[in-house]
Amino acid sequence: MTRITALSLDQAPAGSRTALEGIQKGLGFIPNAFRTLAHSPAALNGYLGLAQALGKSSLSAAEREVVALATSQINGCDYCLAAHNFFATKVGLSDEAISQARKGTLSAVATLAQQITESRGQLSDAQVAAAREAGLTDSKIVEVIAQVTLLTLTNYLNNVATTDIDFPPSAR
């Protein structure tokens, strides 16, 4: 049972409607996570602003999905796992790569995202050194941290709200 209702476009506060309309235009529907986040225009617009900014980072779309999968796996967010399994296939990740991303074993980006999430950002010197040795620059490390932060917001929202999963069963 959902604990925080996903709002329809008509039910959403005025400050959330433009953002929801943009999401609908871009995806063809408004996912329940955004409909739930819409209770707070500040939270919805803040999330979308950070997501848009990170879309221009040095992380590729596939790397952003890898971070999303690793983070959502650790945070136990079934909604985000379904959504990002779906989006990961859209950016070319195979089922095996998705599985490895969820385990944090696909790449240095996946490993770092998993470590950041598991430790709540309390990485050891050795973990940071290993990320650098694997080729991650300080810029990329900061961008992975930002992406983990973005996903943690939706992971926690969906876990608290028990958001109904509205992505295709094949995405789960």
**What CATH number does residue 72 fall under?**
1.20.1290.10
Using pLDDT thresholds of 50, 70 and 90, give the confidence band for residue 1.
confident
Using pLDDT thresholds of 50, 70 and 90, give the confidence band for residue 172.
very low
Within 8 A by CB and 6+ apart from 142, the residues are none
Shared domain check, 107 and 66: yes
Which domain covers residue 78, as residue numbers? 61-161
Shared domain check, 155 and 77: yes
Within 8 A by CB and 6+ apart from 62, the residues are 88, 91, 92, 93
Distances (CA, A) of 51 to 56, 96, 114, 148: 9, 26, 19, 11
Shared domain check, 128 and 48: no
Helices (H) and strands (E) in the chain, counts: 9, 0
Shared domain check, 68 and 32: no
| 12-57 pLDDT per residue, tens | 999 999 999 999 999 999 999 999 999 999 999 999 999 999 999 9
Shared domain check, 81 and 32: no
Q: How many domains does the chain have?
A: 2
